[in-house]
Amino acid sequence: MEVSGVMLKQVSDENGECRFTQLIPGEPYSLSIVPAGGPLIVEPEQLVFQPGEFRQMDYRLQSLVSFRGQLTDETGAPISGREIWLRRSSSKERLAQLDGYFSPWEGANIRRPDRKDVTDSTGRFAFNKVPPGYWSVGPGAGPWGGFSASGQAPPTLDGPSMAKRIEIVEGEPVQEVRLSMAQDLFIEGRVLDLEQLGASGIHVNASRVGSEGGTLSVRSNKNGEFRIGPLLPGDHELTLSGLAAQGSGGGACVPETSVHPAGSSGVLLQLQLGCELICILSGLEPGTPREVEIVLQQDGSWRRQGLRSSSTDGRYAWSGLRPGSWSVLATDSLGNTWAARSVLLDPGSSPRSVTLQPTIGGWLHLENEGLGDEIGVRVLQGGAQLGSSPVLPGGSLRMLLPPGDTIVVSTSASGEERAQPVRITANRESTLVLGKAP
């Protein structure tokens, strides 16, 4: 078992049993099993334990299966000398049917591949003694695939690559897997600032439409140019982030998501004129610094700021915000809350100033029962979203909120949504188990 980079090892006894004790509650553990003479078996879900919990997990060493395959390019020509990665995939049927990406970082972190092979002169590869179950297999991720800092394209077309999810079935004969790697599908373009000049240092993110395989990201070069890929065939959503790195563009904001097919060139992403918001938190003692955490949210996205005020009026300001309706939630360590809902921002009337009155807040404690799925939650009051966060299996989330009727919308791994009401009372804590009636 591994937690926070620390490996815990046990050897099974004559009954095939082993025991781990003194595990840290609330911390995610990864579990792997190394059978004698067999390959690594990895539990696909992270394990989170509650205080005092005893959990028994049974594994049956199944008959191992071999499979082979071939890697070709988009024309059908074999690709030789390419590293192929094999990694345990999710057992959930919804995820098992989706193709995705291996990213360049996965070779060095906890999601590293379990097995590797290299294609021969005919593009063929093979994996022997593979346990049954769902696996991701595909070309290993190579070096970065975008522009370098100097603005020059890299000499290689390597980069994030396709990962195909397959099911290995016990007792079946040797399986054949066909992999195709599109080596020249990129999206190229330019990010423009408010003066129609190239905006440097902006993160351009591409996500394949209809896939949950992850997001590729590059930064625009000194001329605002970007080149992201290689990509799988199909449409990709492009989003921008990292606006703070632009320097002179503090009054700009990122545009809405745009969709472009892989292989597109000449794409122009125009930064928009942003808005300025000034929040004045009343009730703060003049001249006394106080750490205040403020959450700004719009359309389900959120931007979190931890600030310290030493001014006499408790003023906090942001620029580069998108036009539209925003909610504001501020909290401090003394249990005070300040909230504003549906603050409308318009570039024509910027800056917008709002004064927030303090109230004594109450705590909302959300618990995920630990059934193996991460649950996403959104917390709403008066129709405005005041918080959003994922809650890991077996984990919990604690939020300080203004008093009042509250709706918690939870989204399961299958995409099913459920709304649960709860009332927040000052100086009290309300507990809600996600998926159950309060």
Residue 247 belongs to what domain range?
187-273
User: Considering the domain boundaries, does residue 11 fall inside one?
Assistant: no
Contact 113, 127 (CB under 8 A): no
Token code pair at residue 132? 């049954």
Lowest-pLDDT choice from 32-46, 98-112, 229-243, 274-288: 98-112
| Other Cβ atoms within 10 Å of 299 Cβ, number | 11
Lowest-pLDDT choice from 51-60, 261-270, 387-396: 387-396
| Mean pLDDT of the chain, nearest integer | 75
Provide the CATH number for the domain around residue 335: 2.60.40.10
Once rounded to an integer, what is the mean pLDDT over residues 204-213? 71
The number of distinct structural domains making up the chain is 4
297 and 262 in one domain?
Answer: no
Q: What is the pLDDT of residue 189?
A: 93
177 and 69 in one domain?
Answer: yes
Give pLDDT tens digits for 48-79.
Answer: 888 888 888 887 666 677 888 998 877 788 98
* pLDDT tier, 265 (very low <50, low <70, confident <90, very high otherwise): very high
Distance CA 122, CA 135 (A): 23
Residue positions counted in the chain: 438
| Cis ω for the linkage preceding 403 (within 30 of 0) | no
Q: Which of 217, 249, 273 is the last residue of a domain?
A: 273
Q: What angle do CA 430, 431, 432 make, to 5 degrees?
A: 125
Exposure on the CB side of residue 426, measured as CA atoms within 13 A: 7
Contact 354, 412 (CB under 8 A): no
Q: pTM of this prediction?
A: 0.53
Give pLDDT tens digits for 280-314.
Answer: 888 776 666 667 788 888 765 555 545 555 455 67
Provide the CATH number for the domain around residue 264: 2.60.40.180
**pLDDT at 192 exceeding the cut of 50:** yes
User: Considering the domain boundaries, does residue 108 fall inside one?
Assistant: yes
User: Closest by alpha carbon to 122, among 72, 157, 166?
Assistant: 72
162 and 210 in one domain?
Answer: no
156 and 81 in one domain?
Answer: yes
Q: Looking at mean pLDDT, say which of 96-105, 152-161, 410-419 comes out highest.
A: 410-419
* pLDDT tier, 436 (very low <50, low <70, confident <90, very high otherwise): low
Q: What is the pLDDT of residue 274?
A: 80
Once rounded to an integer, what is the mean pLDDT over residues 387-412? 81
Contact 220, 149 (CB under 8 A): no
User: Considering the domain boundaries, does residue 282 fall inside one?
Assistant: yes
Give pLDDT tens digits for 311-344.
Answer: 556 778 877 778 888 888 888 877 888 888 888 8
| Other Cβ atoms within 10 Å of 223 Cβ, number | 14
| Other Cβ atoms within 10 Å of 13 Cβ, number | 9
User: Considering the domain boundaries, does residue 35 fall inside one?
Assistant: no
User: Considering the domain boundaries, does residue 93 fall inside one?
Assistant: yes
Token code pair at residue 41? 């078996």
Q: What is the pLDDT of residue 109?
A: 41
Bridging pattern class, strands 187-192 and 267-270: parallel
- The CA R_g of the chain, rounded to the nearest whole Å, is 25
268 and 284 in one domain?
Answer: no
172 and 83 in one domain?
Answer: yes
Q: What is the pLDDT of residue 151?
A: 40
162 and 69 in one domain?
Answer: yes
Contact 189, 265 (CB under 8 A): yes
Q: Which of 327, 360, 393 is the last residue of a domain?
A: 360
Q: What is the pLDDT of residue 266?
A: 94
User: Considering the domain boundaries, does residue 17 fall inside one?
Assistant: no
User: Considering the domain boundaries, does residue 22 fall inside one?
Assistant: no
168 and 75 in one domain?
Answer: yes
Q: What is the pLDDT of residue 155?
A: 36
Strands (E), 193-244: 203-208, 215-219, 225-228, 235-241
173 and 87 in one domain?
Answer: yes
Sheet holding 336-345, edge to edge: 301-309, 290-298, 324-332, 336-345, 358-360
Q: Which of 143, 163, 181 is the last residue of a domain?
A: 181
Give pLDDT tens digits for 68-119.
Answer: 899 887 778 898 888 888 887 755 444 434 445 565 544 444 356 778 899 9
Provide the CATH number for the domain around residue 151: 2.60.40.1120
144 and 203 in one domain?
Answer: no
User: Considering the domain boundaries, does residue 368 fall inside one?
Assistant: yes
* pLDDT tier, 268 (very low <50, low <70, confident <90, very high otherwise): very high
**pLDDT at 358 exceeding the cut of 50:** yes
285 and 303 in one domain?
Answer: yes
Is residue 370 helix, strand or coil?
coil
170 and 89 in one domain?
Answer: yes
